[in-house]
């Protein structure tokens, strides 16, 4: 397992509590979080260049400080309506092996700290397909926060 993959899928020994800092963001009404150590940057979308014959989840590519970054529409992967670019839309930049990937999100929320001991069980009615994209559920105030399995998400985007 690569160091990046370890950060994206943290393993915890049974009975131990680990605090995680999660960068949180919204996709519609869904509050999601990613381990802050996986985030390389948060950027405005800028000008997207479409890629002919790219899979539906690839929204295009952008030039970020001289680097070409593939932009993945998380909404498409999670079977939601395609993302609409607004002034609040952001790219969460993550690393997948040697490539930077921009995850298109509706809006960025806060960085929150959660204890792994406070994880809620995943809903039983969640489909197997959808559940592979999520790791844990936490209560954050009045909201439910679902942690995104970035490795599984990027694996889908690679194929």
pLDDT digits over 11-38, tens only?
A: 444 456 689 999 999 999 999 999 999 9
Sheet arrangement for strand 67-73 = 39-44, 90-96, 99-105, 67-73, 58-64
- SS percent in the chain: helix, strand, coil, step 5: 20, 45, 35
74-93 in b/e form (b: 16+ CB < 10 A) is: bbbbbeeeebeeeeeebbbb
Beta bridge partners of 110: none
Q: What are phi and psi of 18, to 5 degrees?
A: -125, 135
Neighbours of 97 (CB within 10 A): 10
DSSP string, 107-127: EEEEEEEEEGGGPBPPPTTS-
Please give the pLDDT value at position 112.
95
Average pLDDT over residues 115-139: 81
Contacts of 41 (CB under 8 A, 6+ apart): 64, 92, 93
Domains of the chain by start residue, with CATH: 3-8+21-158 (2.40.50.180)
* Mean pLDDT (the chain, rounded): 84
- Residue 90 is encoded by which pair of tokens? 């952001």
Average pLDDT over residues 129-142: 85
Categorise residue 53: left if φ over 0, alpha if ψ from -120 to 50, beta otherwise: left
Average pLDDT over residues 82-97: 91
The H or E element spanning position 104 is: strand 99-105
- Residue 25 is encoded by which pair of tokens? 């963001």
Average pLDDT over residues 103-117: 94
Residue with token string 């993945």: 72
**Has this prediction a pTM greater than 0.85?**
no
Please give the pLDDT value at position 122.
77
In percent, how much of the chain has pLDDT > 70? 84
């Amino acid at each position: 397992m690569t160091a990046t993959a370890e950060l994206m899928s943290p393993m915890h020994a049974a009975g131990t509590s680990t605090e995680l800092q999660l960068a949180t963001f919204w996709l519609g009404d869904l509050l999601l979080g990613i381990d802050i150590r996986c985030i390389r940057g948060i950027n405005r979308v800028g000008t997207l260049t479409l890629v002919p014959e790219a899979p539906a989840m690839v929204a295009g590519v952008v030039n970020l400080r001289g680097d070409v970054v593939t932009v993945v529409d998380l909404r498409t992967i999670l079977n939601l309506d395609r993302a609409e670019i607004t002034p609040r839309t952001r790219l969460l930049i993550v690393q997948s092996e040697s490539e930077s990937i921009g995850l298109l999100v509706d809006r960025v929320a806060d960085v929150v700290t959660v204890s792994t001991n406070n994880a809620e069980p995943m809903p039983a009615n969640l489909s197997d397909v959808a559940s592979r994209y999520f790791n844990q559920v936490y209560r954050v105030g009045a909201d439910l926060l679902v942690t995104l399995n970035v490795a599984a998400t990027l694996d889908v985007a690679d194929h």
